[in-house]
Chain A
Amino acid sequence: MKGRVTGEVTGTVTGTVPAAQTGGVTATAKAKGTGTVARHPFAVVAAVVVALLLVVPTLVVVPISFTGKASFVFPPDSWSLRWYGNLFSDSRWTSALRRSLWIALLSSVLATTVGTAASVGLTRWRRRRWAAAARALLLVPVFVPAIVLAIGIYTVFGSLGLLGTVTGFVLAHASLGVPFVVISVTAVLQSFDVQLERAAESLGAGRWAVFRQITLPLILPGVLAGALFAFVASFDEILVSLFIKSPFLETFPIRVYQSVDNDTDPTVAAASTLVLVVTTLVILVAVRISTLRTRRLGT
């Protein structure tokens, strides 16, 4: 539900992290900025409230995951680790988790490969109108509500025998992931200096060598961001997955959903905490890497 749209803002995010990190603006602007913000007490209060609204509610899953009782009562009055034990021993949870990671990995690789190739093609194609049309087509999955896409996929996959198969999941998730890759890779390609490719060519590099040694390393942040988005988009995907699942092939989000909907089983809180912690770590690492890189390249 959320993963689907994530990619649209990829360009924003890849742009945002370094800017926030290195203070994108000049020192004087920063100094001025600090002064200005103090003169907007209302906006500051509103921003603090919104920040709390964004972060705090989600954190309640953490204490619940350590509760001693099989209930969602908050705050818990006793503590235990048994829900984590459950999470890692119950095969319904472990197999769903393994399967989701595997599907997310495969669909991210597929989406990143075809999406990166397409982005390079889009940027270079000299028939700009055709390129614009092709780009619009590749972005369709972001701008059409998932529920609309899900019905068609259900019908077609049904007739092809792809329902409840890993292939089906990977194809569906990868095509939902392509827009994120295209957006984030074309964003970095736009700031990529084509002169560098010419320089490499004039120095004796062939087409593949230019891509491998010059273009790819320089657009790598965009490619990795796209891959990460595509991975999360798949790992998180629930709506289309609900349509194409089978009792024999369920993904992690489906397991979470069914657990929330049917039982009062804090195992789901343990699972949620796990997702929360892993995601936060991944973001912090990504932010850190992008900072180091930005500093070195001096951009």
Chain B
Amino acid sequence: MSDAGTSIGGARNPVAAGGSRLVIDGVVKQFGGHTALADVSLDVQPGEFMTLLGPSGSGKSTTLNLVSGFAQPDEGTVRIDGVDMASVPPRRRNVGMVFQNYALFPHLTIEANIAFPLRQRRVPRPEQARRVAEALGTVRLEGYGQRYPAQLSGGQQQRVALARAIVFRPGLLLMDEPLGALDRGLRESMQSEIRRIHREAGSTVLFVTHDQEEALALSDRIAVFHEGRIEQVGTGHELYLHPASTFVAGFLGESTMLPAERSAGGAWSVLGVRVPAPSAVPDAARSATVVVRPERARLRAVDDARQDELGLSVQVLEDVYLGADRKLRVRFADGTAGVVREVAGSMSPWRAGDRVEFAWRPADSAVLPGSAAPAVL
């Protein structure tokens, strides 16, 4: 496999060896009166696996279309390896693209599908054959070359699409929800395939998904899209532990979001319990949101207070046993919903209906400006 890796990062396109650098700068895109992208900027490093994550309609696919060249930005620029793409048509961008429904050519054999980009580039026949075989090897589909797309399973079609997108050694690989049509088990094995191929090919990847687990599993960095803007860019770890907004906190993983208020005297409190003044919140702000990840909270008996913890009384609504861990859904006095996760070995005795305290250490929570839309049960 390693020799395939070196040749796919090959010498024909020296930039591809380390992947291309993609810079999106101040891009605005409108459709009719609707703003699809409002001032999006993103700097993707050579060889990086960058995921655009967000709900549908948040602008991630539009961004992908601007990079592939199927749409033009109204304002701002897209640069690949320093070259402004404004006047470069899709076919000259040298960008590999994997489509959501694969877009395999149904009338061509698998081999001909994969050879297609090479044919367009007038690569000599023997070289074409060699590289097609190599690409088939990379995606582990040796022996399938003579079949037609309709004769392959969804996962196999997916791999052909991938082989076709990397066979011409593009410096930049775009993937538009490529795993969306696969079932769960297949999706996980394809994730590791994609990781391996990315490692071997070394090209920069821009990956679009609305699935947060997929984003966390694959990416070097994740850009979270929300209503045509990028809310936050960072590694999965950063986004999870230090979400920059309540949207990111809510979209990536589960969390309990508690409303914090500042009294006239300047003291902060959550549902009547005093909390330390948050540092990440502007001085003038009157409200904020405390975000507690489920594994950072614990449920304790009312009389079990600890010095370094804050506690709020809750009622357990539901406890779901999941094998390796257990999930408890709780309700605060004002109706706000909360969630706590306990791992095997340290599970509490509480059951649905119990009245207990929801406790966390302030250092383990994030306090974000603004108030989240309350999740009331």
Contact = CB atoms under 8 A, between A and B. Distances in A.
Interface of A: 193, 195-196, 198-206, 209, 213-214, 217-218, 296-299
Interface residues of B, number: 29
B107 A204 contact: no
B90 interface: yes
Nearest to A298: B150
Contact of A209 (B99, B101, B120): B120
Nearest to B148: A296
Closest 4 CB pairs of A and B: A298-B150, A199-B103, A204-B120, A203-B117
A200 B99 contact: no
A104 to B, nearest CB: 28
B164 interface: yes
A203 B151 contact: no
B246 interface: no
B34 interface: no
A297 B107 CA distance: 6
A193 B99 CA distance: 12
A195 B99 CA distance: 8
A200 B105 contact: yes
A204 B117 contact: yes
Contacts of A201: 70, 89-91
9 contacts: A195-B99, A195-B101, A198-B99, A199-B97, A200-B105, A202-B70, A202-B95, A202-B96, A203-B165
Contacts of B96: 202-203
Contacts of B97: 199, 202-203
B360 interface: no
Contacts of B99: 195, 198-199
Contacts, number: 71
Contacts of B90: 198, 201-202
A113 B84 CA distance: 39
B282 interface: no
B107 A218 contact: yes
A191 B217 CA distance: 36
Nearest to A218: B107
Given A204-B121, A205-B120, A297-B150, A195 B103 contact: yes
Contacts of A202: 68-70, 90-91, 93, 95-97
A198 B91 contact: no
A296 B150 contact: yes
B91 A298 contact: no
A199 B89 CA distance: 13
B253 interface: no
Nearest to A210: B91
Interface centre among B68, B106, B151 (most CB of A within 10 A): B106
A202 B102 CA distance: 13
Nearest to B95: A202
Given A200-B105, A202-B68, A296-B148, 17 more contacts: A195-B99, A198-B70, A198-B90, A199-B99, A200-B116, A201-B89, A202-B91, A203-B97, A204-B120, A204-B121, A205-B91, A205-B116, A213-B116, A296-B150, A297-B148, A298-B106, A298-B148
A202 B91 CA distance: 5
B103 A198 contact: yes
A192 B364 CA distance: 54
Contacts of A213: 116
A202 B85 CA distance: 14
Nearest to A296: B148
Contacts of A299: 106, 150
Contacts of B91: 201-206
Contacts of A199: 97, 99, 103, 105
B168 interface: yes
B106 A218 contact: yes
B91 to A, nearest CB: 5
B168 A204 contact: yes
Contacts of A206: 91, 120
B116 A217 contact: no
Interface string B148-162: 111100000000000
Interface string B101-136: 101011100000000110011000000000000000
Contacts of A195: 99, 101, 103
Interface centre among A199, A203, A206, A218 (most CB of B within 10 A): A203
A200 B105 CA distance: 9
A193 B103 contact: yes
Interface string B224-261: 00000000000000000000000000000000000000
A199 B92 CA distance: 13
Interface in B242-292: none
Nearest to A194: B103
Interface centre among A200, A202, A204, A217 (most CB of B within 10 A): A202
A198 B70 CA distance: 8
A204 B90 CA distance: 7
A145 to B, nearest CB: 40
Contacts of B116: 200, 203, 205, 213
Contacts of A218: 105-107
A171 to B, nearest CB: 34
Nearest to B150: A298
A210 to B, nearest CB: 9
A214 B151 contact: no
Contact of B168 (A198, A200, A203): A203
A151 B331 CA distance: 85
Interface centre among B95, B96, B116 (most CB of A within 10 A): B116
Interface centre among B68, B89, B91 (most CB of A within 10 A): B91
A202 B64 CA distance: 12
Contacts of A217: 107
A267 B95 CA distance: 67
A217 B109 CA distance: 13
Interface centre among B69, B96, B107 (most CB of A within 10 A): B107
B254 to A, nearest CB: 35
A299 B151 CA distance: 11
Contacts of A205: 91, 116, 120
A52 B103 CA distance: 46
Contacts of B150: 296-299
